[in-house]
Amino acid sequence: MLITIIVALIALLVGLAGGFFIARWYMKKYFQDNPPINADMMKQMMAQMGQKPSQKKLNQMMSMMKQQNKK
């Protein structure tokens, strides 16, 4: 009986730790593949700040954000 409880607790702890690290890995991968800010959002933010965004400037900003995410 005591061995069953110990094995169950160890299995629970291993499952929790494994689930945490798998979820963390999945979320990191998801945000790298799908960044929370896209070009349309960036264009809207620049327009709100009073800048008229050109396509070249948007591309530069997006590439800078992708480079920062890789680090």
**24 against 67, higher pLDDT:** 24
Interval 14-64: pLDDT, tens = 999 999 999 999 999 998 888 788 788 888 888 888 888 888 888 888 888
0.85 exceeded by the pTM? Answer: no
Cβ atoms of residues 53 and 47 within 8 Å: yes
As a whole number of angstroms, the distance between CA 41 and CA 39 comes to: 5
The pLDDT, as a whole number, for residue 71 is 62
As a whole number of angstroms, the distance between CA 46 and CA 70 comes to: 24
